[in-house]
Amino acid sequence: MNEMNEQEFIAEMSKQIADEYEEHVDLAAERIQPPITWEEFAGVYS
């Protein structure tokens, strides 16, 4: 059985994720957004 240690797993998954997903986030724009509440995070928008 091929055992993978944690560092090897993270390195392999990082390569896979980078290949599949390359959306850049504008952190300056995100900083001006108001923080969400736990209720909003849970899907309660009333």
Q: What is the pLDDT along the chain (46 residues), one digit of tens a residue?
A: 467 789 998 888 887 776 666 678 889 988 998 999 999 999 998 8
What is this structure's pTM?
Answer: 0.33
Q: Is 17 within a domain?
A: yes
Number of domains composing the chain: 1
Q: What residues contact 4, with CB distance under 8 A and at least 6 apart?
A: 12
**Who's near 12: CB < 8 A, 6+ residues apart?**
4
pLDDT for the residue 18: 66
Give the single-character DSSP code of 33: S
Say what the pLDDT of residue 1 is: 46
Residue 25 forms part of a structural domain = yes
Gap between the Cα atoms of 12 and 8, Å rounded: 6
Q: What is the domain range of residue 35? A: 6-42
Asked, for residue 32, whether it belongs to a domain, the answer is: yes
Assigned domain for 1 exists: no
Say what the pLDDT of residue 43 is.
Answer: 93
